[in-house]
Amino acid sequence: MAAEKAGDVTTGVRFLASAIDGLREQVRLVPLTQALGHYAWAATHAGEWPAAAAAAQEAPVSARDTTQASIRSYR
């Protein structure tokens, strides 16, 4: 997330994709939801449209399922 926030969206996308894979394997749903939101933003700005769309669709559903109002409100 730091790379994404610092403006290096390409690195942010790469690191967030790796984090998302690890969080899925560990079934860590709350941080996964947060990572998906950041990934959707970073992938959008990196021009990775299919990945951005998939994450943007998954993040609010996961937020609802884990009662994370801050992400759910973007839906």
Kind and range of the H or E run holding 18: helix 9-26
Tell me phi and psi for residue 9, to 5 degrees: -70, -30
Query: Cβ(11)–Cβ(37) under 8 Å?
Result: no
DSSP state of 52: H
Tens-of-pLDDT digits for all 75 residues of the chain? 778 778 888 999 999 999 999 999 999 999 999 999 999 999 999 999 999 999 999 999 999 888 886 654 444
Rounded Cα gap, residues 33 and 72, in angstroms: 10
The pTM of the full predicted model, rounded to 2 decimals, is: 0.85
